[in-house]
């Protein structure tokens, strides 16, 4: 067994990935040319892939750091895969940097908190809720919380990777470089754990500016983690098909499969926990997020559960399926696509609504009665929601709150058992009662449209393009060092790793 095998990034592989990137560019251009006035679909698509692939890179580093800190030895032979994936954060800085530039230059309208006048009490577009969040939701914090944190994480990933490579090339007998790895890994865990929440709040959750969830950062981070694990399975099986990584056995695959299965169940727990607690509390500010997606984006909503829970749960429940390369490759493809779908579901509806409201403002459709309502005598709760509605380019929930205000002013309870349904209906139909709109106009932002209601073929082309970019960078990094850390103190343990799982009738499961 040749452990010093170097991965060779062949020209034909490069040409294939160049072709994939070219397809992604063409699809992005097609989306841009057939977009609305604010190019909302283009910018939301760019944000979707920038966050998703940057998140995969981050969670690869986070998972690797956890394994090193826990003295886990089984994964040593696949450690270089995670090291190479983690280096993509350098590219993520550039991808997110363009989104940041769009915030500063008002090149897109993805974030309602960045709209003109929403935090100015003297503006007719003032939004009381957003003004209360302005200390956190502003261009400066957005820059720090996205590009700034990615730069910090990349620095740690680069140092960990360098210590790992130096361990192979430098002469030392006291595990000096392994100890360095442990220091970088252990310090990264709290750094990444705390800062990742800010990254996800800023980049994704703040699209639905009025909405909030204390579970969101956990939920979305675990989604990128599953993207990283599924991509790890795909890449290992691909490399083995090329004749590399012959030392990765059924037992290693079985352990990765257990993570894929277990964390998929954990993701489902987080999904249900967030959904159930919000729906049961029946707080209008929270329930509107799910009400909008269940009623106007049902394919995204239910497809998310089928792809990311039902499929991996029932296929990987059996112990032997986690030791079959073909089955694992198939499940990993579904899970990878499923969590790409998950971020599509999180980003697209809110971005579409924010842009639609901004276009209505630009056309002068929000005036008169909404401004008067904001200053009319009302009960505190009703006045609070009426003030929200004065923010013309509001997010998906603003219209719902305006409808709730009208309901409250009529002497009804704001949080009756019908509150969530009433709020959702207010957004689609009752908008006219609060601001003089026509119902069919408000429904334009909810009508079926590829790229929002469900992904279109061009969205799949963009996915291929960004995935090709990720893989190009990954293979380039992988080719710069040995495929296995030759002087790692846990190498021998990893080479002889066995799960002890003997499955009756399994072909080759325990014999490799």
- Residue 439: its pLDDT value, please? 42
- Residue 357: its pLDDT value, please? 78
Alpha-carbon gap, residue 98 to 246, rounded angstroms: 41
In a domain, 401, yes or no: no
In a domain, 198, yes or no: yes
Name every residue whose Cβ is closer than 8 Å to that of residue 80 and which is 6 or more positions away in sequence. 164, 478, 481, 482, 483, 484, 485
pTM of the full predicted structure?
0.84
- Residue 405: its pLDDT value, please? 39
Average pLDDT over residues 344-373: 72
**Using one digit for the tens of pLDDT, what is the confidence trace for 272-312?**
999 999 999 998 889 999 999 999 999 999 999 999 999 99
Q: Would you list the DSSP string of 58-75?
A: HHHHHHHHHHHHTT--TT
In a domain, 238, yes or no: yes
Least confident of 20-29, 209-218, 414-423, 459-468: 414-423
Alpha-carbon gap, residue 246 to 242, rounded angstroms: 10
- Residue 67: domain span: 11-359+458-495
**Using one digit for the tens of pLDDT, what is the confidence trace for 352-364?**
988 887 777 677 6
| Mutual angle of helices 216-241 and 325-362, in 10-degree steps | 140
Alpha-carbon gap, residue 213 to 230, rounded angstroms: 26
Alpha-carbon gap, residue 398 to 353, rounded angstroms: 10
Query: How long, in residues, is the chain?
Result: 512
In a domain, 199, yes or no: yes
Which single residue is written with the structure tokens 């990893």?
494
Torsion of CA 323, 328, 332, 335, to 10 degrees: -80
**Using one digit for the tens of pLDDT, what is the confidence trace for 409-456?**
333 333 333 444 444 433 433 333 333 344 444 457 788 999 999 999
In a domain, 371, yes or no: no
In a domain, 422, yes or no: no
- Residue 446: its pLDDT value, please? 84
Alpha-carbon gap, residue 10 to 13, rounded angstroms: 5
Q: How confident is the model at residue 499 (pLDDT cuts 50, 70, 90)?
A: low
Name every residue whose Cβ is closer than 8 Å to that of residue 143 and which is 6 or more positions away in sequence. 100, 103, 104
Mean pLDDT for all residues in the chain: 84
CA 209 to chain centre: 17
Higher-scoring residue by pLDDT: 284, 64: 64
Average pLDDT over residues 242-261: 94
* CB-based burial, 283-305: b 16+ in 10 Å, e otherwise: bbbbbbbbbbbbebbeebbebbb
Alpha-carbon gap, residue 463 to 231, rounded angstroms: 14
Higher-scoring residue by pLDDT: 93, 430: 93
Number of structural domains the chain divides into: 1
In a domain, 414, yes or no: no
Average pLDDT over residues 402-413: 38
**Using one digit for the tens of pLDDT, what is the confidence trace for 132-154?**
999 999 999 999 999 999 999 99
**Under 8 Å between Cβ of 226 and 301:** no
In a domain, 379, yes or no: no
H/E element, 294? helix 284-296
């Amino acid at each position: 067994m040749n452990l010093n095998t170097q991965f060779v990034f062949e020209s034909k592989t490069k040409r294939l990935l160049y072709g994939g990137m070219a397809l992604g560019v063409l699809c992005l251009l097609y989306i841009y040319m057939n977009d609305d006035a604010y190019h909302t679909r283009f910018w939301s698509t760019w944000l979707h892939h920038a966050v998703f692939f940057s998140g995969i890179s981050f969670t690869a580093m986070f998972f690797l750091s956890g394994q090193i800190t826990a003295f886990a030895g089984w994964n040593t032979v696949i450690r270089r895969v995670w090291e190479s994936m983690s280096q993509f954060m350098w590219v993520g800085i550039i991808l997110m940097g363009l989104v940041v530039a769009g915030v500063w230059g008002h090149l897109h309208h993805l974030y309602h908190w960045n709209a003109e006048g929403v935090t100015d009490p003297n503006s007719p577009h003032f939004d009381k809720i957003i003004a209360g969040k302005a200390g956190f939701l502003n261009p400066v914090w957005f820059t720090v919380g996205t590009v700034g944190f990615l730069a910090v994480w990349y620095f740690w990933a680069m140092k960990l990777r360098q210590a790992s490579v130096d361990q192979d090339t430098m002469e030392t007998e006291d595990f000096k470089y392994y100890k360095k790895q442990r220091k970088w890994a252990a310090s990264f865990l709290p750094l990444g754990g705390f800062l990742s929440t800010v990254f996800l709040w800023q980049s994704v959750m703040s699209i639905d500016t009025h909405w909030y969830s204390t579970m969101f950062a956990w939920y979305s981070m675990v989604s990128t983690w599953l993207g990283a694990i599924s991509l790890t399975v795909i890449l290992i099986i691909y490399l083995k098909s090329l004749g590399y990584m012959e030392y990765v056995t059924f037992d290693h695959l079985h352990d990765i499969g257990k993570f894929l299965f277990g964390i998929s169940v954990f993701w489902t727990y987080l999904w249900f926990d967030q959904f159930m607690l919000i729906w049961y509390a029946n707080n209008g500010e929270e329930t509107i997020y799910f009400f909008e997606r269940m009623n106007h984006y049902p394919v995204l909503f239910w497809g998310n559960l089928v792809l990311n829970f039902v499929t991996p749960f029932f296929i990987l429940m059996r112990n032997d399926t986690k030791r079959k390369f073909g089955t694992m490759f198939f499940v990993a493809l579904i899970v990878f696509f499923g969590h790409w779908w998950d971020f599509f579901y999180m980003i697209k509806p809110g971005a579409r609504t924010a842009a639609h409201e901004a276009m209505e403002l630009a056309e002068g459709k929000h005036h008169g009665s909404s401004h008067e309502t904001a200053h009319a005598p009302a009960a505190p709760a009703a006045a609070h929601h009426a003030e929200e509605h004065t923010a013309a380019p509001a997010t998906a929930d603003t219209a719902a709150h305006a409808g709730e205000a009208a309901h409250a002013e009529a002497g009804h309870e704001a949080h009756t058992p019908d509150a969530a349904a009433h709020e959702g209906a207010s957004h689609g139909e009752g908008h006219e009662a609060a601001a003089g709109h026509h119902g069919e106009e408000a429904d334009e932002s909810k009508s079926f449209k590829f790229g929002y209601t469900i992904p279109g073929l061009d969205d799949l082309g963009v996915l291929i393009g960004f995935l090709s970019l990720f893989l190009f960078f990954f293979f380039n990094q992988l080719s710069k060092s040995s495929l296995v850390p030759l002087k790692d103190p846990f190498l021998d343990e990893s080479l002889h790793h066995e799960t002890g799982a003997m499955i009756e009738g399994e072909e080759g499961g325990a014999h490799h």
